[in-house]
Each structure stands twice: as C-alpha cells, then as structure tokens.
Structure 1
C-alpha cells in the first residue's frame, strides 16, 4: 500500500481532533477525503506528511514509517496545502529551480514539470503577477517536481474559475494514473468528476470508506409524491421496502426505500388499490451531496 494509516489519534488536551482513523490507499487511486470544517481532515493530512506526530497509531508511506523516519517518507510525498505558500517575488522558473535544489533534483526536471502543468507561457513571470489558477499550477508543479509516489492535495481548486477547474481536474486525473492521490475538497462535483473512492470523516471519526461506484449504486431511493387528497400514515406504512416517510404538506410525502428495484410502479399500484390519484411524482438518487449532509448533521 502507498498509504497506510492505522488507528491514528490526535489529541489536544481533552479534545480529540482525530479519533482512531484507519484507512489505506494504493497506487493509481484518487481518493476524495471529505468532511465538514473542523472534522479533522487537515490534521490527518499533516500527520500523513510528517508535519504533526499522532498521539497514537502508525503511519506508513510506501513502507516508510512517517513517525520514526519523517524525512525519508517526505521524499515520497508531494504536498499542496490549502493556502499554497509561494515566494511571490520569485520568477516561476526561478522558484521551481530553487525547489529542485532542495530535493536534489536535476534542473532539467523543472522544464518538464513546467510543460506538464501548462506553465510554459508563464515561466518568465513573477509569481505575484499570476492569477489564482496559475499560482495553483505553480503549487502543483512544486508538489510533483521530485516525482513523488504519493500526492496530497488540500483544496487544490479553491478560487478557480470554471475553465481553470476543468484544466486542474484533468491534470489531477492524469497524475492519478501512476500515483496515489489524496484529495481534500468541499466541492462534491469535483469528487464525482475526479475520484475513484470516497473517505468521509466527521468529528474526527471515519464514517464512510467506499468506492464512488458503490456510493452511486446505493440501494436507497428517495421519491417525492403528491396525492389528490390527504391519507393517513398507517396506509403509507403498507408500501414495500419503505424505510422512512414524512408528510411534508397536506397531500405531499417524502418517501425513502431500501431497494435496488425501481419503487415508482409500486407507488402507482398503491394509489390504484387505495382509490388515489397521483398529481406529482419525482424520484431522486442519494447523491454524494445528500450523503454528506446526512452523515455530517
């Protein structure tokens, strides 16, 4: 495994920022790392990079113990923090050459990475002259300059315009073909567009670890239905596979079902059997945004 965290806990006094988090990820995976503000995402990523030491637990990156040998582990990690720290008075190429010297990387790698992230036309400019999107590219270039096996990206697309979003997402997908990518973001559409797998933490505790495909094929269905007159709950309970229901207004109901079968025909049958007419019906799947809201309330 490229990343392996086992029972990671981080406490600050009486507060547990991270509580017994365990997960692993392998080469070729792009993992969406989700959670509300204060959930423990940034703390977990800082532990993974060796910036923070866990109170308990073990962390390995490509077989290297991050706690006991952080410098060796950091050679295998590329990290783009949320507030992308850059030397704004340096030129793009100058900055990346400086980073190359820190990593003892050949300067020829700078030209390669500039081309890879689409900075060729901007390489002669000072970083402070660049837009937010191009500064993010500089941060990504710095993160992948030493060709790390693991890439950790904390909110890499914050503040980008729609065109820049598409370009950076495509770049991340390309990088994810031969690296392990851990991507923290609040943008659910980004996860659905880029990631293979989702890890969700809330209040420091891991609550979901599933592939995107598993989440998309969830058995839970939500159906909004409007009948022509008010009916009692005791009749709604007769619907097969129903797991939750709510009378949202006089004749309107929100119905949830646990089934892979399309439940709309069952609702039509139910209406006919009870002498009802259906004035409106809308079906929706539990998408990632619904799941996030449900699990982090």
Structure 2
C-alpha cells in the first residue's frame, strides 16, 4: 500500500483574492481508505474538484496514479468514480433508467447495471421511481453510477451527509466492502472524526485551507491522546485528589470529581482500581477533548510552538 494513487504537490487555489487552499500536499496510498477531514469551509470540496479536473490550481500539481492530471486528464478520469455532494438524478425515472442514462453517457455496456445494483443493494428497488427513494437510497444509487466504469479509485464528498444512523452504517459498511473485496481505493471527505475512525485507514486533516495532519489512523489516534483529558466523577472528591496528587495536570472540578490528562486505556483501568480499592465509589469516567474541534486546537498550538 505504499504506491500513491493520489498526490498533490503544494497545491494552491484562490477565488479572486480569497485564498482557499495553501500548499496542500496530499499523499494517498493505493488500496487505502483515505478520510479527508475538516469543518465546513475548510477547503475539502475545492480540493476534490481540483482532483477531478473541475477546477485548475492556482499553483501546484495533481498526480493521479503517478501521472500528471494536467497532461493525462481523460485516461486518468476513466479510472475514477466520483460522487460530489448530492448525486444528480432524474427523479421521474427509475433507478435502472438513471443507470442506463449513465451507461450511454460513458459508453458502458448495460450488462454492468445489474452488477452495480447488487453491489449497492438496490436490486429490489431498481424499477421504482427515484422520487420514491429515501435519501440513503439516492446516495447508494449515486454510488452505483460512480461504480459503473469499474473504477480503481472512488472520490466521495460527504456521502453520509443528511443520512439517518441506519443510512450512515449502510454506507460505511458498503465502502469497507468495496475496499476489502474489490481493492478499490477510496478518498472520502467528512467533517465527522468519529465516523472516519470507523472506516478509514489513513487520515488527512485540513483547516483554513492548510493541511494540519496526514498519516495512518493509528498515528492520528496516538496524536489524539495528547489533546484528551479524563474526567472522573466519584463519591469523595477531596480524598481522590489526595490519592492522585502526584499525577501531573490534575485539576479538581466544581462538584464531585476531577480531571487529568488522558494517557491510555490501561491507565484508566489502574485509576479506577485504585479508587475502588480505597472504597471510593466511581460514578462516571469519560474521555473528553478528543473530538475534531479540540484536535484542531491542539494541532494549531503544536504548529505555532
């Protein structure tokens, strides 16, 4: 999984005088699921449009499959399936008819239709009008259209936006299946850190148009530990604080608990065992500060130091 399927080299883009991207260098290994994280307005969709040749960079270069997009755009895009924001579908047509239209546009045999319908689990609903589809079904139909050309790479922009919990789980499991069973590399943007941790093998974090982090999921999780803290609610706050007085960063809270920097799961277990042994009741233990917003703050402080 070392060979890159997507690379951007110091990519800049601006609309007028407004700089949207600054020196963005992505490196997505072949066979990976790359979670591209950032809040709304961070530059995720602009980056994706640059990857697909829908926008031209102000500066820098996009490489797909080790070839420059600027000189090999057509052959590169033939290897890619994409879904940007909401899929463009004909609501008055059936799911199958939408797929036929896509086949005609891309010169793909109709024989592929049943295959992709089965992949996205829409076979039973293929002949229903799309206007009768749920949002999750529409997203899966959009994914089916993206899968028609047998892509080596899928580029998806916030594919779980607006989905209910069941729809999110269905989409997540489908993407993992496509990656595992078909070897498709998947680049997926999102603003949900918790969701990306359940599907991605690699993570890139963008904020205000700049890359803040890039690495494996394991490297991200190690980094998250540095910005997280443990909050404990117990029956005897003062005695608990005395017991852990040597713990660096310990803070007594207003109420019945205390907080201290999170170290590891093993450390949490030892802490609870100590409190129980001292006959102090533990009401609640939770890890806070390891969400995307706090991770941004930690990364910003780290880069500034």
TM-score, scaled relative to structure 1: 0.83
CA RMSD, 1 decimal: 3.1
1:183 Cα deviation after fit: 1.1
CA contact (8 A) 1:224 1:254 kept: yes
1:173 Cα deviation (Å)? 0.6
- Describe the superposition over 1:50-81 as per-residue Cα deviations: whole angstroms up to 9, x where unpaired: 11111111111112322333333221211111
Distance 1:277 1:34, change over 3 A: same
Instruction: Tell me which residue corresponds to 1:192.
Output: 197
- Measure the CA separation in 2 of the matches of 1:268 and 1:117: 47
- Residue 183 of structure 1 corresponds to which residue in structure 2? 188
Gaps in structure 1 of 5+ consecutive residues: 270-275
Asked whether the equivalents of residues 196 and 212 of structure 1 are also in contact (C-alpha less than 8 Å), the reply is yes
Aligned partner of 1:273 in structure 2 is none
Tell me, what secondary structure is at the counterpart of 1:173?
helix
- Give runs of aligned pairs for residues 236-251 of structure 1, distance below 5 A: 239=246, 242=248, 244=249, 246-249=251-254
- Compared with structure 1, are the counterparts of its residues 250 and 75 closer, same or farther at alpha carbon in structure 2 (3 Å cutoff)? same
The answer to whether residue 34 in structure 2 is matched with residue 31 in structure 1 is yes
- Give the CA deviation at 1:7: 0.8
Q: Which residue of 2 aligns with 1:204?
A: 209
Residue pairs, 1:125-274, within 5 angstroms = 125-177=128-180, 178-218=183-223, 219-220=225-226, 222-225=229-232, 228-229=237-238, 239=246, 242=248, 244=249, 246-249=251-254, 252-256=257-261, 262=267
Asked if the contact 1:110–1:145 (Cα under 8 Å) also holds between the matched residues in 2, the reply is yes
Alpha-carbon distance, 1:132 to partner: 1.1
Higher helix share: 2
CA-CA distance at 1:112 after TM superposition: 1.1
1:7–1:21 contact (8 Å) kept in structure 2: yes
Q: Would the aligned equivalents of 2:250 and 2:261 in 1 still touch at CA under 8 Å? A: yes
Aligned partner of 1:87 in structure 2 is 90
CA-CA distance at 1:197 after TM superposition: 1.8
> Pick from 36, 49, 54: which aligns with 1:51?
54
Q: Which runs of 5+ in 2 are unaligned?
A: 298-305
What is the Cα deviation at residue 166 of structure 1? 2.4
Assess, with a 3 A threshold, how the Cα gap between structure 1 residues 281 and 99 changes in structure 2: closer, same or farther: same
CA pair 202-236 structure 1, distance change in 2 beyond 3 A: farther
Q: Any conservation in 2 of the 1:61–1:76 contact (CA below 8 Å)?
A: no
Q: Calculate the TM-score normalised by the size of structure 2.
A: 0.81
Q: 1:54-110: per-residue Cα shift (whole Å, max 9, x none)?
A: 111111111232233333322121111112211222222122112112222221111
Q: Could you say what secondary structure the match of 1:194 adopts?
A: coil
